[in-house]
Amino acid sequence: MKSDQGTIAPLIASYLALILLAIIGSTAVVMALVAANRVQGVSEMAILYAHDRAVVAGIPDSDELRIQAGIFLSTAPSAQKLELVQFDTRVQADRSTIRLCARYRNPLGIGVDSAIICREANAKSFLIER
């Protein structure tokens, strides 16, 4: 019988490469999810700020809503950390809506280098009569 005198170095190197790929891939996915939640949080804060300042007698003013949302997005530290692409506001009866889009750059530089994340948030007025 001949004895097999091979090495297991290629097998170990392949396993290590797969483990490294899995770690980098899962890190990139988690960072993208964190970025999406951050955009959602900023959009929710922006609509609450703008809606509160644009409401007159329970109905938000569309022009004032857009102005106040712009003020929030230009001054809030959480919004300044985002690279905003666009935002749209709309009013339907007593409900205000903002759609905020921000560019996401993968800090690892692996996979998608740049993507746009869009999120939407709503606020509704409740008029309390005495």
Question: Which residue do the tokens 């993208």 mark?
Answer: 32
| Residue-level pLDDT, tens digit, the chain, 130 residues | 566 677 888 889 999 999 999 998 888 888 888 888 989 999 999 999 999 888 888 888 899 999 999 999 999 988 888 888 899 999 998 899 999 999 877 666 655 567 888 999 999 887 666 5
Supply angle C-alpha 58, 60, 124, rounded to 5: 65
Give me the amino acid identity at 36: A
Structural domains in the chain, sorted by start: 13-124 (3.30.1300)
| Among 117, 66, 120, 128, CA closest to 91 | 66
Q: CA neighbours within 13 Å on the CB side: how many for 113?
A: 1
pTM above 0.95, yes or no: no
Report d(CA 85, CA 79) in Å as an integer.
Answer: 12
